[in-house]
Amino acid sequence: MILTYFVDLYELDKYKHQKKVATFKFSEETLGTVQIEGATDHPAIDNIVREGILDYKFARPGRLYPYDGMSFLENLKYCFRSGYLSATDVQQKTLDN
């Protein structure tokens, strides 16, 4: 059994419907790095990977990147909470081998 944590990133399309852009996944199998599934060519995803995100949860200086693991995942919802782009809370799922 593997415990996986994930956050979904959504954007509003031109018809004002929420569309999933990407899912950020973290588990013991990813060796401490958050994996990104979805539209990796999306400008927001490209920006996250290149420039990182701010640490709003613990207010530490510097930026967080996918290799920061769970800290990165927990901060996505604070960085993306606008009407156009929004991230869910960290969710968990148990996967059977």
Tell me the per-residue pLDDT of 15-67, one tens digit each, with 9 for 90 and over.
889 999 999 999 877 778 999 999 889 999 999 999 999 998 777 888 999 99
Contact 22, 43 (CB under 8 A): no
- The angle formed by the CA atoms of residues 52, 56 and 59, to the nearest 5 degrees, is 105
Q: Which residues contact 35 (CB under 8 A, 6 or more apart)?
A: 24, 25, 26, 66
The structure's pTM equals: 0.87
Mean pLDDT of 8-16: 91
